[in-house]
Each structure stands twice: as structure tokens, then as C-alpha cells.
């Protein structure tokens, strides 16, 4: 689904991603973990062309991201839903209209039967059918993230990118959102990329992970193999959990 090879990215003189390579396969829940400032968000934003990169390659859904023109990039972004720590909902719009935003971008009528059915189906999936006409300010953090997830799925993406999706939520709500992400992975067959500084999140739902430190991969593999007592980088990280 996404193949990253020798990727390097800098902001001016600041090298943020340093010779990073890994592959995300269909059906993965793939974790990218590291402390604040490690380069996780930047890496994720390179996947769907929100950031460019200086060298190396990212082949996403069979195409080199940096070679895409504007229109091709929009189609790529349609295939990659994205959710964030702060939900990024529009406060003046209802839950229904927030979920419908990508449909409007793609010049579709969100009130068409097909689209209305789709939105109802997604509201059911995320468990918010009773909040269809609510505004974001009337929702809890967990409910807002559920709306953001429904919006990220409305164009039927193949990949869901999650940037610190549970970092603003308390532990119980985090569990609920992780269970929902697992359900989406299994039932809708959507590949998920989870960027987080929270070890528990990766341990719980990811089948593969890379550990990023100052822009470099210092460990990669299956979480159950990496979170063992002999791994110094992970131990160091455990001792210094930040944010
Ligand atoms: P993480 O998500 O792991 O916390 P980021 O990818 O946000 O890390 O940031 C990695 C580094 O890149 C940080 O040092 C950050 O200050 C820097 N950075 C991020 N975005 C920009 C930008 N648009 N311009 C300049 N520096 C940036
Ligand atoms: Mg970040």
C-alpha cells in the first residue's frame, strides 16, 4: 500500500526525516511511534502529499507521490482518509454536514439518496445516529473523533491515516476509539497507519511498527517483539514518555 525507500526530508537546514525505509502492506494496522519532534507527523504528511520530500521515494497505492500532478494528488488524497488529534471539525456545521464535506469537495450532492444512505451507514458504524443534527460543541471529545472518522471514510478510502488520534482523549475513550479503528480495519478492509507517542496504542492495535527517533528508524518489527526488556531504545522511550 505504501512503500517508503531512503526517504529524506528537511525544512531548510533542519533534517527531519533521515534515510527512512519501510513497507506498509494491505490490511496492516501500522504504527509509527516516537517522541514529540521525532518527525512522525511530517512523515505521515509526506504519504498523501501534504509535504514534499527532497530525496528517496514514497510509492503509495502504486504511484510515486512526488510525481503526481495536482489532480492526481487529489485522487490520492481521496484514497487516504486522515484524522487528527484536534478532530478538525467545522463548528458551524452539523454532524451530518461535517461528514458530507468531502462529498461537496468532489461536487457530489450530500442529500442524494446514495450519499444520504452512505452517511447514515457511517453514523451507524461510529455509533452516532442520534447525533446527526448536533453541532460539534454539543459533543464529547470521543464523539468528535467518531465524526472525524466517519468524515475520513465517506469517500471510501483504501487507507486511513491517524495522527495522534487518541492523544487528546482519556484512557477509557481511547479504548473505544481503538476498538472502532480495529473494526474498520477488519470489516471495511482498510489499511490503517497510526502515528502516536503513546506506546499502549501501538501495543494494543498495531501488527507492525517503526520506532522513529530524531528522524531515523531505530527499531522496526512486530510490537510484541520490540517491546521486550532488552531493547534499549524502547526502554529509553518508555522512561521518557512525553506530551
Ligand atoms: P512529531 O509529529 O513526531 O512530533 P513533527 O513531524 O511535527 O514531529 O516535527 C519534526 C520536526 O520538524 C520538529 O523539529 C519540528 O519543529 C519540525 N517541523 C515540523 N513542521 C515544520 C515546518 N512546517 N517548518 C519547519 N519545521 C517544521
Ligand atoms: Mg506530530
Residue list, ligand 1 pocket, CB within 6 Å: 11, 14, 16, 34, 36-42
Q: Which residues in 61-128 belong to E strands, given as ranges?
A: 63-64, 80-84
In the DSSP assignment, the letter for residue 230 is T
Q: Can you tell me the distance from the alpha carbon of 122 to that of 3, in angstroms, rounded to the nearest whole number?
A: 29
Q: What's the predicted TM-score (pTM) here?
A: 0.94
Contact status, residue 101 vs residue 90, Cβ threshold 8 Å: yes
Mean pLDDT of 189-202: 95
Checking if the pLDDT of 230 tops 50, the result is yes
> What's the whole-number mean pLDDT along residues 105-131?
95
Tell the residue nearest (CA) to atom 10 of ligand 1: 39
Contacts 24+ apart (CB under 8 A), 65-68: none
Segment 190-217 shows an average pLDDT of 96
Least confident of 109-113, 212-216, 238-242: 238-242
Question: Which residue's CA lies nearest to atom 26 of ligand 1?
Answer: 11
Interval 59-80: pLDDT, tens: 999 999 999 999 999 999 999 9
Query: What mean pLDDT is predicted for residues 100-113?
Result: 93
Integer Cα distance of 94 and 46 in angstroms: 31
Is the pLDDT at 240 greater than 60, yes or no? no
The ligand minimizing its distance to the Cα of 85 is 2
ipTM: 0.98
In this prediction, residues 212-241 reach a mean pLDDT of 77
Cα distance between residue 213 and residue 162, in whole Å:
19
**44 CA → ligand 2 middle, Å:** 9
User: Of all atoms in ligand 1, which is nearest to the CA of residue 163?
Assistant: 2
Residues sharing a CB contact under 8 Å with residue 70, sequence separation 6 or more, in sequence order:
none
| Alpha-carbon distance values, 74 to 54, 80, 159 (Å) | 21, 10, 14
Helices 141-153, 95-105: inter-axial angle, 10-degree rounding: 30
The pLDDT of residue 153 is above 90: yes
Amino acid at each position: 500500500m505504501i512503500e517508503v525507500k531512503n526517504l529524506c526530508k528537511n525544512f531548510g537546514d533542519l533534517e527531519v526525516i533521515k534515510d527512512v525505509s519501510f513497507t506498509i502492506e494491505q490490511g496492516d494496522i501500522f504504527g509509527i511511534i516516537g517522541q514529540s519532534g521525532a518527525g512522525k507527523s511530517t512523515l505521515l504528511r509526506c504519504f498523501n502529499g501534504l509535504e514534499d520530500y527532497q530525496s528517496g521515494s514514497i510509492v503509495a497505492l502504486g504511484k510515486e507521490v512526488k510525481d503526481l500532478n495536482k489532480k492526481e494528488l487529489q485522487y490520492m488524497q481521496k484514497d487516504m482518509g486522515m484524522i487528527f488529534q484536534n478532530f478538525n471539525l467545522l463548528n458551524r456545521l452539523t454532524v451530518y454536514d461535517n461528514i458530507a464535506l468531502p462529498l461537496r469537495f468532489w461536487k457530489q450532492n450530500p442529500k442524494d439518496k446514495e450519499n444520504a444512505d452512505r452517511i447514515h451507514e457511517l453514523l451507524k458504524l461510529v455509533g452516532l445516529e442520534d447525533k446527526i443534527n448536533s453541532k460539534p460543541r454539543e459533543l464529547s471529545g470521543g464523539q468528535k473523533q467518531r465524526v472525524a472518522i466517519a468524515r475520513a471514510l465517506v469517500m471510501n478510502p483504501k487507507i486511513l491515516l491517524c495522527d495522534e488520534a487518541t492523544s487528546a482523549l482519556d484512557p477509557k475513550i481511547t479504548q473505544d476509539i481503538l476498538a472502532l479503528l480495529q473494526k474498520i480495519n477488519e470489516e471495511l478492509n482498510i489499511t490503517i497507519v497510526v502515528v502516536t507517542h503513546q506506546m499502549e496504542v501501538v501495543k494494543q492495535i498495531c501488527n507492525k511498527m517503526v520506532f522513529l527517533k530524531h528522524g531515523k528508524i531505530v527499531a522496526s518489527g512486530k510490537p510484541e517483539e520490540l517491546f521486550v526488556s532488552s531493547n534499549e531504545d524502547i526502554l529509553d522511550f518508555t522512561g521518557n514518555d512525553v506530551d
